[in-house]
């Protein structure tokens, strides 16, 4: 953010370097249940981001002193693979990963009915395999799908998007170059059903009016992405139903032979 350069981020036709219009999202693809050992999982491709999310729990919180007798604790761990960025990232948690893990944990916790699972922990692992800006929101979006896949009751799937400012204009869903050379980035996440904002951060500078515009733009996109999350869950469970029906049919046929 805010790196000095002569790079033009918006051309004379009003298009961005990857050809997008100001309010256009990068392509997003979500897949559910991609891991067999976890209780729930999801994989998201969002522009150049590739991220896996896995969920364990609710299970007895350990060590015991971390247990809360009235509710579950939500532990999200955001991790960037060494090979996820241009310059090899030193493995292990840095200050940035600790911060992102904290804000994601809080955003997910706001939607989960934590009081239904006292003394337990719900562990969420977010592994960034390839990063291209916007990973905290893409990771959070995948994580809430993985929570649903694990059968954890929630008010709604948490979902988000970022908006920001490049070349003096408010735009949706910044990519890496825009994040590096733009003026501001504002990641936002909501619970669509209640319209609560559960994550909002800002890097760089915008006026009050620009912030208002960025929030509106990010919220609108989040509602669109919320449908992609639900479609991905439906696709997995419908596929499962078809598979079950086919197995039953085969069993019947075999019995009849
Ligand atoms: O990913 P997100 O936008 O949520 O967080 P950020 O801290 O604004 O990082 C923006 C982007 O910078 C990441 O998505 C990565 O592409 C890149 N980055 C990097 O190349 N090396 C790092 N150690 C951290 C971030």
Residue 70 forms part of a structural domain: yes
Q: Domain range spanning residue 119?
A: 28-256
Residue 11 forms part of a structural domain: no
Task: Indicate if the alpha-carbon torsion angle 100, 104, 105, 110 is positive or negative.
Answer: positive
Number of domains in the chain: 1
Q: What is the CATH number of the domain that holds 130?
A: 3.30.230.70
Residue 1 forms part of a structural domain: no
Residue 57 forms part of a structural domain: yes
pLDDT tens, the chain, 257 aa long: 777 667 899 999 999 999 999 999 999 999 999 999 999 999 999 999 999 999 999 999 999 999 999 999 999 999 999 999 999 999 999 999 999 999 999 999 999 999 999 999 999 999 999 999 999 999 999 999 999 999 999 999 999 999 999 999 999 999 999 999 999 999 999 999 999 999 999 999 999 999 999 999 999 999 999 999 999 999 998 888 788 888 888 887 787 76
Å from CA of 131 to ligand 1 middle: 7
Å from CA of 133 to ligand 1 middle: 5
**E-only strand ranges, 33-158:** 40-46, 49-60, 73-80, 120-130
- Return the best residue to mutate from 135, 186, 189 for the ligand 1 pocket (most ligand atoms within 8 A of CB): 135
Residue 148 forms part of a structural domain: yes
Residue 196 forms part of a structural domain: yes
Q: What is the pTM of this model?
A: 0.94
Around ligand 1, the residues with Cβ closer than 6 Å are 85, 89, 96, 131-136, 176, 179, 187
Residue 4 forms part of a structural domain: no
Residue 167 forms part of a structural domain: yes
């Amino acid at each position: 953010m805010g790196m000095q350069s002569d790079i033009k981020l918006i051309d004379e036709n009003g298009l961005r370097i990857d050809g997008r219009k100001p309010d256009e999202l990068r392509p997003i693809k979500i897949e559910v249940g991609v891991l067999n050992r976890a209780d729930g999982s999801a994989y998201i491709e969002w522009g150049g981001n590739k991220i896996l999310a896995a969920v364990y729990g609710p299970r007895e919180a350990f060590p015991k002193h971390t247990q809360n007798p009235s509710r579950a604790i939500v532990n999200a761990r955001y991790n960037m693979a060494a090979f996820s960025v241009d310059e090899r990232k030193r493995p292990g948690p840095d200050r940035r990963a600790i911060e992102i893990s904290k804000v994601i944990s809080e955003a997910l916790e706001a939607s989960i009915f934590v009081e239904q699972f006292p003394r337990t922990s719900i562990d969420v692992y977010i592994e960034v395999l390839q990063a291209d800006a916007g990973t905290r929101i893409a990771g959070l979006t995948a994580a809430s799908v993985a929570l649903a896949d694990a059968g954890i009751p929630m008010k709604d799937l948490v979902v988000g998007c970022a908006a920001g400012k490049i070349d003096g204009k408010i735009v949706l869903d910044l990519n890496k170059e825009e994040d590096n050379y733009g003026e501001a980035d504002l990641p936002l996440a909501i619970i669509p059903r209640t319209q609560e904002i559960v994550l909002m951060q800002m890097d760089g500078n915008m006026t009050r009016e620009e912030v208002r515009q960025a929030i509106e733009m990010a919220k609108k996109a989040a509602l669109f992405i919320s449908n992609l999350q639900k479609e991905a869950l439906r696709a997995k469970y419908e596929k499962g139903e078809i598979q079950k029906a086919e197995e039953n049919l085969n069993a019947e046929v075999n019995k009849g032979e």
